[in-house]
Structure 1
């Protein structure tokens, strides 16, 4: 099998029909490229209705040409399901397909080629499609394009893998499984391990897919565990300056319960997160954040006015502003 993609499912009935269509749509392109696809579905606490929907999807995707593996399990973290799906799969190239996201065939084909050429991990640029309601009433959709994020030279959430990364089975066997204590950012923790950062990693040029941010996502939706887990990774690597204030009790319980892994924190860092200094740290962080946001707004408004009025070329000739980037 050339490519195995793992999908963790939980209460996924509403997403399964469109997900099945999206999977079936990439299969012909993969087959034309001489590539086979295996889909490992790990269903958490599936109801009878969801089981029927999964079986229907598996039949449709199988008919389209993919090999489908289904595992029914009690509810577990998404990273436990990822590990389970990888162990049950057989592909040399591995990745994940969130049930509410869209993957693009050209990136899958490019990624497999790069992995076969010696890359151990390939990250991709991607679309983020944010769906919300303005004033709680009017549906609004915003689309942003992000470059391939992964940067092995830095330990920071801004340099973690994007949602459409691919990697080799050999790298997974070398690095080990995802830490199933994590609920939200286990992919960030895994990508920041020394063995991954030392591996030959590459950036694809094709758009990996579309990540739909709709408020029910594990990440990017103000999940209270997200920055507890980001902090956990940063603390393990000694990145004290990047930590953010979170719920002190939750941070301490997570760190002392499973996060520390024998790591010891300086007393002042503990005090900042859950000790006597926690409230002061949170207030200062919020003040700094407001100042930074205001500074960005002050810079952004004149730029937006200049670009919307078409004045940039004229002002650039006078040397008052930078010329427009020809790439945009």
Structure 2
């Protein structure tokens, strides 16, 4: 029997994606593995937070898996560790000195210590290799799995007034351009997440009909997908892009970006647009709304696409890594 110790970040309200992914993975590992899950004491990236989290960490027998965000915990977990990196860009923000701090503590030192590094897309791998090229041979791609709670629901598409679903409200989710794109389209926009002042002002000035919901549980999120006619997800940056797969699993057509991880995850199963062009986003939505054959093809291709991200496939890949570390 092999023991795997998961090290999770301290969760924040509305930030549960990493924890949800690895809870799903751990609960589906074979009987050859026992999983122990712990989380760090504090959230954040200051030297004080790192000091507290490292000092209060209690070592366990077995191998370790740092599931994301708290890469620096490799300083305590040691060599028999798997580190999963979800994205690079969101960490390396700020002034010159802040970037150097995070590069060293979040990437350089952990990469020197851990045995294996997994990333969730080829796009993320390319980004990471540009920062830690010396660790290239340690890095492998294991995509995020699509949860089995997202199941197909037939779509009675409302072509007269479609419900356009937008998941996430951070700047990279591109809501301001989405609002400009839908301003002349007769639709309702459903937004998942908390809106900031600029987003609210834009919605009101363009007189867009919208619903905004936040802190949804699994059942509420599934209900939002069921009510949606199309997912509009032209993000400017993602390490992966899980809403693409969730919507496809539910049988909803997807519009997403023709760049980075979004293009990689969606492949040819979504309407790909230029996320920096309001015109491109608008034309993509209009084509989905007006062209039934195109829309149905997106749904069909989406259901094929999610087969690449089946939970069993992803679990097998992690088990293979755990076995290799257990033998060392």
TM-score normalised per structure 2 = 0.28
Structure with max Cα Rg: 1
TM-score normalised per structure 1 = 0.28
